[in-house]
Amino acid sequence: MVERCHERDTLISIFPQMALWSPDTPCSCDCFVSVPPASAIPAVIFAKNSDRPRDEVQEVVFVPAGTHTPGSRLQCTYIEVEQVSKTHAVILSRPSWLWGAEMGANEHGVCIGNEAVWTKEPVGEGEALLGMDLLRLALERSSSAQEALHVITGLLEHYGQGGSCREDTTPFCYHNTFLLADRTEAWVLETAGRLWAAQRIQEGARNISNQLSIGTDISAEHSELRTHAKAQGWWGGQGTFDFAQVFSLTQQPVRMEAAKARFRAGQELLQQQQGGITAEVMMGILRNKESGICMDSGGFRTTASMVSILPRDPIQPCIHFLTATPDPSRSVFKPFIFGVGVAQALQVLSPTFGAQDPVRTMPRFQTQVDRRHTLYRGHQEALRLMERDQDQGQQLRQKQQDLEQEALEAVRGLLAGEWAPPPQELGGLFQAFVERESQAYA
């Protein structure tokens, strides 16, 4: 999916930020959302594949709600920001070397996924907030998708975005797009430096795939978005303002053309299921290899996946399915529900290295450490078995499918009112399925 761009030298002369790209650089993710009536049930359905360097480990981290001393500072991946007095509980799927997250949810049913994007605005190597930091900060500080949008844009204005987004001595920098969802609606937020545009999604299905996709249907925007575009000569100042058209690179590299194909494929897969989109449908889309949505190419692959059910009825719990392992076509989506008794599942928590972590020592990323968590190690062995022994591999894949089907049936019963476990059992649901998956690999 990632190919060499024959016009690379020419493009670099026009857009110097492209010098930070390489043919093996991860630059693909896919986010999806379904808002009733596109959903089969009265719920918003959110989904994301995180495509990253193929050996990068993603851990699933639970962070409880907290209160903080006024004026205190918060260390993110590279920089400190001012902490707020109160933060919400969050569940995060994140590359284990950084502070932020690729995707996640909070206790109020807000879900966010982010993606890399390159525009006419230059991308620098200076350290600021990563898009993944912005994502986590928004989850910790918002109780709705719209509030999360305001958190991100406010932080973007104050601190900017920047810094290398992979654990490597060669910098890899980009700007970000976000898909934000809650129980009632979704928002697409697309950025170019500190500038941004947002689109509100109140019904239907929507996806994003590493490119600007907001055209003329802009619901909110940075106050200087159009004046900046006009000053740069990208827009004449009269007539229709198409954000994607105005801010997208004039000459697209091959890898971004591939993202367009993936974006169209995602649209078609959603369109085929309009009115019948469920969590299972979203899982199927995330597992679609033919379209490239389930990525496994060269130096990167889908390293983790997430699907969330956000019921319109506030009495019903939101359910978040996370894999914590790469390749959703050979992984188990396991359900997480906020509530009493929720604790960190240790099997999906990577080891820590304190002050000796390569991301903390200067210059950064000069050494490598083993960040694999217990479930990741077991899953690696399972993938090797699937590739080495067809019969045993099929048996193991069947165990994965049976476990996931059990989880889906439990969730259907919960939402239908047919299963009413004690709160403690719900809070331990993710832990229970993680343990059973680990046992299957053992």
Residue whose tokens read 């990068």: 56
Q: How many CA atoms lie within 13 A of 279 on its CB side?
A: 26
**Cα-flanking dihedrals φ and ψ of residue 91, to 5°?**
-120, 125
Measured in residues, the chain has a length of 442
Distance CA 352, CA 413 (A): 38
Residue indicated by tokens 């903390």: 360
Catalytic residue (one of 29, 111, 165, 173)? 29
Among all chains, which residue has been given the structure tokens 């996709």? 213
Q: How far apart, in Å, are the Cα atoms of 55 and each of 26, 200, 300, 310, 369?
A: 12, 35, 8, 31, 12
State yes or no: is 29 an active-site residue. yes
Find tokens 């997250």 and name the residue. Answer: 101
387's tokens: 């590739």
Catalytic residue positions, numbered: 29
